[in-house]
Structure 1
Amino acid sequence: MANTFRLAGVLRLRKLTEDRAKLRLAGAGAELDGALERAGGLAAYVESSPEGAGTSASLAALAASRAAAGAMYSVLESEVRLKAQTVDEARAALQQARSEAMGLEKLQERHDRAAALAEGRTEQAALDEVASSAWHRTSGRTAGP
């Protein structure tokens, strides 16, 4: 169509922003999954460790191992909370990008409908002109002497 949508460049930019937000959400989700997997692996390790120790050295080693695992687990829990917050922020950014793009998409759809309607009217006016001039030519010949 000759009548192009003037905000097409802005719409393309909004679509790129939306795509970037989708990628950010996917990356944040993958990082969260990895952190959850590490936390689950650590929890399984702690659960599978022996309950009792035969010697005082093994008891000290078991206590040190559990203390280290507990500290690591709290670090992993903090990491999971941060990753979950990042996922939430990425999801909100994607929703914002989608709504901005959808507004422009609706404007483009209205523009396209209006342009198609105007083009149809122009074509109909041209067809009416051709038909009218043909009718005047033929009616002028039959009305003659």
Structure 2
Amino acid sequence: MTRHFSLAGLLRLRQLREDQAAGSLAQANERLRDSRARSEAVAESLDGTDLSPSGSASLYAVAAARASVRSMLVDLQALEATLQSEQGRAQDQYRAARVATMGLEKLEERHRDTETAAVIGAEQRVLDELATTGRRRTGSEVRP
């Protein structure tokens, strides 16, 4: 008869925490990708403007727009740095959760192997006993 792995509840809890950490990491990665895409789009729009202002008013408007876009780009880069930091923390939390889970998974595997070996050993003892008992019977019946 096999025994239940006594740390199964703790293993399940750690697996849930690992799944939660993996979800947080995926969200952090997605936010970082979105931020980078926005920064690239703003940088491209800044580089892609090829206006020829006709007067001083339009020249001031273009200069103000470019300054505004540059300011927005700086803000997006600051946001990206913050998101990158959050992503790093999420990565660290996931790694820690994975390490904690792996330790218990190895214990569970070792427990399973031990239980399997015990079952196989018990079956082998029964087979050995049957073989020994069968030989004795066969030997006693052959003798006159």
TM-score normalized with structure 2 length:
0.88
| C-alpha deviation, 1:77, in angstroms | 0.6
Letter in 2 for 1:4: H
| 2:76 aligned residue | 76
Distance 2:4 2:13 in 1: 17
Report if aligned partners of 2:42, 2:73 keep a CA contact under 8 Å in 1: yes
| 1:96 aligned residue | 96
Letter in 2 for 1:99: V
Secondary structure of 1:50's counterpart equals coil
| C-alpha deviation, 1:41, in angstroms | 0.9
Letter in 2 for 1:78: A
Secondary structure of 1:4's counterpart equals coil
| 1:55 aligned residue | 55
Aligned-residue identity in percent: 35
Letter in 1 for 2:90: A
Distance 1:14 1:73 in 2: 41
The 5 A counterparts of 1:114-125 are 114-125=114-125
Q: How many residue pairs end up in the alignment?
A: 144
Distance 2:2 2:113 in 1: 13
| 1:25 aligned residue | 25
| C-alpha deviation, 1:136, in angstroms | 3.3
Distance 1:128 1:48 in 2: 85
Ranges in structure 2 where 5+ consecutive residues have no aligned partner: none
| C-alpha deviation, 1:43, in angstroms | 0.8
Distance 1:33 1:53 in 2: 35
Distance 1:45 1:19 in 2: 39
| 2:12 aligned residue | 12
The range that moved more, 44-53 or 58-67, is 44-53
Report if aligned partners of 2:2, 2:119 keep a CA contact under 8 Å in 1: no
